[in-house]
Structure 1
Amino acid sequence: MKADQTLLLRLDAPTKAPHWPVGSAGNRPPAKIPVPLPPSRSTKSEDSLSRPKKLSEHGRILETAIEAAVNAVIDMRDSLNDWDSKVGDGDCGSTMYKGATAILDDMKKFYPLNDAAETVNEIGSSVRRAMGGTSGILYNIFCKAAYAKLKANSDSDVTAKQWAEALEAAIAAVSKYGGANAGYRTLLDALIPASSVLKERLTAGDDSSTAFVLSSEAALSGAESTKDMQAQAGWSSYVSAAILATVPDPGAMAAAALAVKAKYEKAS
């Protein structure tokens, strides 16, 4: 095709596209976005990865919370697959199940439960290894961002406020690298309201248990509200609004798994 002056001007116009010739003006982001990652399991000593012989009070609480969350996800496998068969590729439950069982197995051997930040980092490693796919990547990013925020705290005992800040940082990272936000019909539609309510209730002076319960309920409300959303990311963005309105987003429901389990246990 013969180039005319108009075409040449367009080719030389300022752009932010990666890999465009250097001669073109414009501030462009790098083709690869650097994401600093904490050390992986293979680069750490065995001592740092061993489960503590004796758990601290915070370590026991963390273990209980992790077990409750992953068991809730495991129990939801069939429901998640059923929802995903209508709006995705039908394997959301199976994928989440792989991640959940890997976390349970690794926690018995590797997780330094008395150190909250390092435990979150190891959860990310378990998820990355076991889950794969987009979900595995996003949850790994989530954990690594939370780890970085928690690691900034010099104490191994993390306060409720610091957990809230870590959740907020993790959500921001998933939004940044996943390209989604509130209203996109993704797991963020569960996590964002959960984070907002947690921060709000802690600021209002609620005790941490109450704040976390209300946060999980907000996650469920957010997840269920995805029925009314038109997907803007992932497989669901190719599905008609009529079909989307019949089921919630599986990823969002998985993110709200604890509240989902509590709700249906009460109903049964």
Structure 2
Amino acid sequence: MSNKHFVNDPVHLLNLALRSAPLTNPSLALDEENKIVYCKSSPESHASRVAIISGGGAGHEPSFVSFVGDGVLRAAVSGSIFASPSVKQIYSCITRRVNPNSGVLLIIMNYTGDVLHFGLASEKAKAAGVDVDMVVVADDVGVGREKNGKVGRRGIAGTVLVHKIVGALAATTAGASLKEASALGRLVAANLVSVGSSLTHVHVPGRAMTSDDDEGALKPDEIEIGMGIHNEQGYKRIKIPELPELVKILLGQLLSKEDKDRNYLEDVENIEGWVLMLNNLGGVSPLEMGAITAEVAKQLDSTYSIKPKRIFSGAFMTSLNGNGFSISLLRLVDTGLGKAKSMLDLLDAPHESLGWSAPIKQETWANAGGQNQASESDAKEESVPPSGLKLNVNQFCHALSNALKALIKAEPEISRYDELVGDGDCGSALKKGAEAILQLISANKISPDAVITISTLAEAVEANMDGTSGALYSIFLNSLAKALREAGEGEVTLGVWAKAAMAALVSLRKYTPAQPGDRTLVDALQPCLISLAEDGNVGKAAKAAREGAESTRRMKASLGRSVYVGDVGDIPDPGAVGIAVLMEGLAEVV
């Protein structure tokens, strides 16, 4: 894990971060001395409401301070990174930042420091005449009963579901008693299970770096199952599995009745459904979180017949920049507070906090059971009118297959070039397009009609090739099909291919200003096609393509991402190399 941080002093870092809360949510105020973020609205507006307070160590943002706001928390107290706030801080929050009210409910996670400090502060507040209660959330099943002993389970990301549900109850117009709010908090916590996994330990700013060889460090090929949010060890370490296998393990820990060590959900009647929350520990890209969310939802349905009524995915309780995620499952049960105050209604209730990012309307969720994917029957296949231009399918497939296989073989080389001078996707894009066309060939979907065949190849490229390369190849192939249609009837000859290809090159120039000398695939494509048109020799055309690709070494780029690189050194343009490889593959058999 990198030791690079924009702010390396942990004290200064926390102070700056806390100052951002009222800047991004003007309903909040900051007591900087005590590291308290609280709602600044008039005391009279809160007089009949229970005040919900939470807090804990910093480093778990948006928990806890970003959950402060009407409808969730009244205030949150922050300790140093991964350290509980002090009794003085918490007591000041209870007595100075949320009164007057109809009682104070502390919702905290089950960590020794938090339980002791919040507990002592609550006792001091009670002695001062404040009505205080405390709910301790322990949702982590990563460490089972045998290991957690008297301490019990840790609290992790599922805690924010307790915050939201109880906070919504406290914010209702009619209000709710402290007793009702506490009972609801314990009910939600009792029906909540979470488990996390991580590929790395996190680095706390200001601390010395550890290496992969240090005792307790995760090896590069290991993943921790059940890791806590402060680098605590979990259930076990295993070789990093594929995502489906990892999700299977995690869901088994959450839901398996056979795992007596972790089966924390007692059997109840009249379950109203489930809520799923995927929590990013801070360092997982949104793209990967999307993949994780889809896989978890899929396995919940296929293995456990669970279709969650709500799915929340994002960063709710991080571990600084932890490269991991956690899964939380909330079983929806009757709150005993009436239909208007079900767990689901309280989750959906309006709020004014930055941390609870769930913008989907309740009525949208209610209609979620409808069709959400287009079926094959929905798509009308576009038929390409036949032409009078015929090709020898066997010869065509043999030559094209050889060229495509050469391109696939060259993918590592092309990708390496593009990683150095572009965005690294050129080789993989070419490989995907080549593989898609090879599948068409193996499925005998190559037509003896030249126009239909090229149109089919163009569709495959459009569907499978990403990035600029995909767009350019698609335009060229569609233009080639148009030019072939205009060529008339008969057998398609090399001369017909060459003339049509030159026409396609002219069409391509309508969409890109690239010329030889700009360091693009045109540096190889244009001399290749000119040679083919003049000599009618595929070997000479391939040689011209290779010479064009080689000419791009040390060439200053005028187009594409290489423009931003500066001196590209002795690296050829990846797209031009792709053209050369393709033509050389053709030349071997034509």
Normalised by the length of structure 1, the TM-score is 0.71
Q: Does 1:234 align with 2:568?
A: no
Task: Tell me how far apart the structure 2 counterparts of residues 235 and 78 of structure 1 sit (CA, whole Å).
Answer: 19
Distance verdict in 2 for CA 1:97–1:220, change over 3 Å: same
Q: Which letter does structure 1 place at the counterpart of 2:544? A: A
Alignment-derived partner of residue 254 in structure 1: 578
Q: 1:104 to 1:257 in 2, by over 3 A?
A: same
Could you say which residue in structure 2 is the equivalent of 1:192?
Answer: 526
1:217 Cα offset (Å): 0.9
**Structure with greater proportional strand content:** 2
1:62 alignment partner AA: F
| Aligned residue in 1 for 2:544 | 218
**SS of the counterpart of 2:509?**
helix
Q: Which residue of 2 aligns with 1:158?
A: 492
What are the equivalent positions in structure 2 for 1:111-190 lying under 5 Å apart?
A: 111-155=445-489, 157-190=491-524
Counterpart of 2:484 in structure 1: which amino acid? Answer: L
Q: Is 1:44 aligned to residue 388 of structure 2?
A: no
Structure 1 residue 82 and structure 2 residue 416: aligned?
A: yes
Structure with more contact order per residue of length (Cα contacts < 8 Å, sep ≥ 6): 1
* Residues in 1 aligned to 2:549 and 2:523: alpha-carbon distance in whole angstroms: 6
Q: Does the 8 A contact of 2:402 with 2:585 survive in 1?
A: no
Determine the C-alpha separation between the residues in 1 that align with 2:380 and 2:406: 26
Deviates most, 212-221 or 253-262: 253-262
Q: Deviations over 1:148-205 (max 9, x none)?
A: 1111123252111111111112222222202211111111111111111112213xxx
* CA distance in structure 2 between the partners assigned to 1:233 and 1:90 by the alignment: 16
Deviations 1:107-131 (A, max 9, x none): 2336333122221111110000001
Deviations 1:90-147 (A, max 9, x none): 1211111110000111223363331222211111100000012221111100001110
| Contact 2:538-2:583 at 8 Å conserved across structures | no
CA distance in 1, matches of 2:508, 2:492: 22
After superposition, the Cα gap between the structure-2 partners of 1:167 and 1:259, relative to the gap in structure 1 and judged at 3 Å, is closer
Distance in 1 between the 2:585 and 2:383 partners? 36
- For residues 451 and 391 of structure 2, the distance between their equivalents in structure 1, rounded to whole angstroms, comes to 15
Which whole-Å CA distance do the structure 1 matches of 2:454 and 2:406 have between them? 18
Equivalent-residue separation in structure 2 for 1:57 and 1:162 (angstroms) = 11
**CA separation of 1:41 and 1:156: change in aligned 2, threshold 3 A:** farther
SS at match of 1:168: helix
Tell me the distance in 2 between the aligned counterparts of 1:70 and 1:117: 20
Which amino acid letter does the alignment assign opposite residue 104 of structure 1? L
> Unpaired segments of 5 or more residues in structure 1?
1-39, 49-55, 203-210
CA separation of 1:70 and 1:41: change in aligned 2, threshold 3 A: farther
Instruction: State the shift of 1:261 in Å.
Output: 6.3
Q: Secondary structure at the match of 2:547?
A: helix
Q: TM-score, normalised by structure 2?
A: 0.33
Cα deviation per residue 1:28-54 (whole Å; 9 max; x = unaligned)? xxxxxxxxxxxx982228x98xxxxxx
Instruction: Answer yes or no: is the 8 Å Cα contact 1:193–1:219 preserved in 2.
Output: yes
> What is the CA distance between 1:66 and its match in structure 2?
1.1
The 1:216–1:86 alpha-carbon spacing in structure 2 relative to 1, beyond 3 Å, is: same
Identical aligned residues as a percent: 36
Residue 579 (structure 2) pairs with residue 245 (structure 1):
no
The alignment partner of 1:226 has SS state of coil
Flag the structure with larger Rg.
2
Q: Distance in 2 between matches of 1:102 and 1:129?
A: 9
Rounded Cα–Cα distance in structure 2 between residues aligned with 1:116 and 1:89: 35
2:61 aligned partner: none
Change (3 A) 1:262 1:79: farther
Distance 1:100 1:74 in 2: 7
> Does the C-alpha gap of structure 1 residues 112 and 156 become closer, same or farther in structure 2, counting only changes over 3 Å?
farther
Distance 1:57 1:103 in 2: 17
Sort the Cα spacing of 1:77 and 1:41 in 2 relative to 1 into closer, same or farther, 3 A: farther
What is the CA distance between 1:245 and its match in structure 2?
A: 2.8
State the shift of 1:59 in Å: 1.6
C-alpha deviation, 1:57, in angstroms:
7.2
Q: Determine the structure 2 residue equivalent to 1:208.
A: none
Structure 1 residue ranges (4+ consecutive) displaced by more than 6 angstroms after TM superposition: none
Task: Decide whether the 8 Å contact of 1:149 with 1:169 is kept in 2.
Answer: yes
